[in-house]
Structure 1
Amino acid sequence: MTDATQAMLRQEVDADAVRDFLRAAPTFLHQDPDLLSDLGLRPDASNVVDFGPLALARASAAHQREAIVRREIEATARANFSAQAQTHAAVIDLLDARNHSDLARRVDDMAALRFGLAAGVVVLEGPGRVPAGWHALIDGQIEMIMGDHGVARMGFHAPALGLFGDKLDQIKSMALVRLALWEPSRQGLLAFGSADPEGFTADMGTELVSFLARVVERTAERWPVL
């Protein structure tokens, strides 16, 4: 930086005076191409100052941001549509179950084939018979597993690993939803396990798994536990 430049920067600049000068001498910038270049501006063919590279860079950055947001919205829409389509197909699969054992098998198949999960399990608590293929718990275990999470619990919870039998080593996250079956009511769970630690997280919505739990309830109540 030259001594003259340093001296100029030390002077107090009156912005209003600069603005008034440029308005009074509109050709000043146009006649100084070096100054225009330093400011990132350029004159166009009609003698109007054009915000050349700087303006183009800003416009390009804005366009890139818009493109990223648009792609994210489109990806979310595709994922939602795919999840809805798989859910509809899963409901049909569950409704086609022939008995409790077949229902449990279809839940596990649905988890793997429809949603790419490691396992799906139907759990029943309390005294009395438990259908073949279902996981049995003694009284009080569901409350111990669910804690204060109400209807559904999402994320990793080590005490629930035993629900997944010989697949427990694969489970890194899980979705657990309460079931109420038959009259008098017996407590149960619909449990899904994922091999991905981010497959189910505590901040996820529970609408999808809760809906599937209601379908399992209604389907299971077609038959008594023999």
Structure 2
Amino acid sequence: MTDQPQVAPEQTTDLDAEAVVAYLRAHPAFFAEHDELLLEQRIPHQRGDSVSLVERQLKLLRDRNIEMRHRLSQLMDVARDNDRLFDKTRRLILDLLDASSLEDVVMAVEDSLRQEFQVPFVSLILFGENPMPVGRWVSNAEAQQAIGALLGTGKTVSGNLREHELAFLFGEAQSKEVGSSAVATLEYQGVHGVLAIGSRDPQHYKSTVGTLFLSYIAEVLGRTVPRLTQTLRPVR
């Protein structure tokens, strides 16, 4: 097989540079039509070892432009994530409003959070002295003893919980796999309970993470459960 002649890297660079120069000469208004590229060019403007004020200003503008692009990209990512969360939350809330039984509610919550939201650990617990045959029910005293600190705030909390709190929410076996979690309280017209979600990642649900969508779901649950428990008989 005959060896093909190879072009040295220096020759390729020269050819590319010559092509660029020729193009710019043929299109003298190029930078006037694409002035945003000027901030990305490195054009020395100096005398000896001193750097001119113009070059310093251009460098600052270039760095600031890069930083603003990064911030804009991050904001766009957050906006896209929020759009996806909103759409999933909307579908779940509609399913809860259409539910005709408490069993439908429990299934809708667990299926949506596990399948749509991709949450590995989900727990819906209702409090009452007369437990119903559907879902998980505990007495108010038992809930206060296990997670009273979480219920006392009346707000949705997130972060790293204590071992006995995780065991109560997710069970002894699963609690050992939960790295971080978020817990929303249900409290409306005599209905009390919690909706908890967990992740294996200790940093996933930080104490500063937004819990707006989980709070919305918990509020809808609090208003949906009462009308569906009236037809159920307590477990004796």
Which residue among 156, 159, 164 is the counterpart of 2:170?
164
If the length of structure 1 is used for normalisation, what is the TM-score?
0.69
Which amino acid in the other structure matches residue 164 of structure 1? F
If the length of structure 2 is used for normalisation, what is the TM-score?
0.66
Residue 51 of structure 1 corresponds to which residue in structure 2?
A: 54
Unaligned runs of 5+ in 2: 1-45
Question: Superposed, which structure 2 residues align to 1:51-200 within 5 Å?
Answer: 51-52=54-55, 54-132=56-134, 134-144=135-145, 145-147=147-149, 148-157=152-161, 158-162=163-167, 163-165=169-171, 167-180=174-187, 185-200=190-205
Unaligned runs of 5+ in 1: 1-34, 42-49
Equivalent-residue separation in structure 2 for 1:68 and 1:209 (angstroms): 29
- 1:221 partner SS: helix
Question: Are residues 58 and 67 of structure 1, via their aligned partners in 2, closer, same or farther at CA, if it must alter by over 3 Å?
Answer: same
**Per-residue deviation, 1:123:** 0.8
**Per-residue deviation, 1:60:** 2.1
**Per-residue deviation, 1:72:** 1.5
Which amino acid in the other structure matches residue 156 of structure 1? N
Question: Superposed, which structure 2 residues align to 1:11-50 within 5 Å?
Answer: 36-41=47-52
Q: Does 1:204 align with 2:206?
A: no
Question: Are residues 59 and 212 of structure 1, via their aligned partners in 2, closer, same or farther at CA, if it must alter by over 3 Å?
Answer: same
- 2:92 partner SS: helix
Percentage of pairs with the same residue:
24
**Per-residue deviation, 1:128:** 1.0
Equivalent-residue separation in structure 2 for 1:146 and 1:71 (angstroms): 41
Larger Rg, first or second structure (1 or 2): 1
**Cα pair 2:181 2:196 within 8 Å, conserved:** yes
Question: Are residues 167 and 102 of structure 1, via their aligned partners in 2, closer, same or farther at CA, if it must alter by over 3 Å?
Answer: farther
